[in-house]
Amino acid sequence: MHFNLAGQLIGALLLQTASALPVWARFGSRSLSARDGSYSEILKPKVFIVSLFTPEAAAWWHIPDFNILAQNISIPGLSPRFPEAHCTANGEICQVVTGEGEINAAATIQALVHYTGFNLAETYFLSAGIAGVNPNVATIGSVTYARFAIQVAQQYEFDIRDIGENFTTGYIPYGTKKPAPAEYPQNFYGTEVFELNVALRDRAVKLSSKAHLNDSDIAIAYRAKYTQKAAKSAPFVIGCDVATSDNFYSGNILANAANNFTLLMTNGTGVYCSTAQEDNASLESFMRAAKTKKVDYSRIMVMRTAANFDRPHPGESAYQHLFYANSGGFLPSVANIYLAGIEVVNDIIKNWDSVYAKGIHPTNYVGDIFGTLGGKPDFGPYPFFGEA
């Protein structure tokens, strides 16, 4: 929004000059100028892919006619393991890799959104990673798009052996004395739940549903051991919500506790389906940037593809499930990031002028529990009382 017109004109001129150069010179000069922390033009990507670690990032690399490694741009504040953003030659499609876990995700996105070499005010963000999945809702290889991201471990925690038979889980919402869904938390950090644009989410689900999703023989054999209809079916695309936790939890009890907490926090609207370690944190950084119009919060999509189940099948212990089961889901889930995601990326590029430039208007509330971006949250104790 606060885009500097002079900068834009200079940028356009430089871009034109650059386009006249041979391909190698264009990329070479960008890399050189970017590496020393300066930049010669402000890029205004239409889509930014957010990957969390190398296999997810590499799913977008080395694809014929899609060279997202054409430009590498060093950005101060990115992960030391992933110090460069990547972009196509025309700068329309870019990628950043955050590193795993909430701290890496929040820190990287915070650095990205304030980097002055990008104008991200109209950019669509596709956060796309692998995840665990709830077998009641989807299956390994499935592709999920979230409306809500909930940080399920943001609660008091006891070891269950210390609190005994009265409790179904050791997790208890802040400011309460019983596990979810007994009582809404009373203390808030402000980042408990993030709600995204459902109209955009539903368009992404529809687009990705056109993809021919990948699967594997091992995954087919493994999912047959589950009793749930969703778990047993071939991979599909679905809109359902993501739980964020730095703890890589697994097993029936914690999965049910996460499900209960999701329902409680979203006032019954959320559908707990995928589990990962970053989204809630990235969304906090995006939201802070949206507050000053650095990004548009209604242009963010959170996709997760399922690599494994969050709980064992009948006859399998939680321990066996986490450490010894070969679900065969890893390779298909990584492949499906690209297969499903490219449908959305292509749609954004193709229909930029007619659909995406002006934005897809959200018909639901978008933002956090405080109403930071305006509007009235459709979850939580509005009007807000419990800042702590």
| Binding stretches for ligand NAG (CB under 6 A) | 27, 31, 69-70, 72, 102, 106, 150-151, 154, 164, 166, 168-169, 179, 181, 184, 189, 191-192, 214-215, 244, 253, 256-257, 260, 267, 280-281, 284, 335, 378-382
Q: Which is nearer to ligand NAG, 119 or 191 (CB)?
A: 191
Q: Which is nearer to ligand NAG, 189 or 236 (CB)?
A: 189
Q: Which is nearer to ligand NAG, 157 or 378 (CB)?
A: 378
The nearest distance, CB 82 to ligand NAG, in angstroms, is 9
Q: Which is nearer to ligand NAG, 9 or 23 (CB)?
A: 23
Q: Which is nearer to ligand NAG, 30 or 203 (CB)?
A: 30
Q: Which residue is nearest to ligand NAG (CB)?
A: 154
Residues 6+ apart with CB under 8 A from 369: 188, 190, 191, 192, 193, 377, 379, 380, 384
The nearest distance, CB 2 to ligand NAG, in angstroms, is 26
Residue written as token pair 């269950």: 160
The nearest distance, CB 270 to ligand NAG, in angstroms, is 11
Q: Which is nearer to ligand NAG, 152 or 230 (CB)?
A: 152
Which residues on adjacent β-strands are paired with residue 193?
150
The nearest distance, CB 164 to ligand NAG, in angstroms, is 3
Q: Name the residue type at position 21.
A: L
CA dist 387 and 127 (Å) reads 29
The nearest distance, CB 282 to ligand NAG, in angstroms, is 9
The nearest distance, CB 122 to ligand NAG, in angstroms, is 25
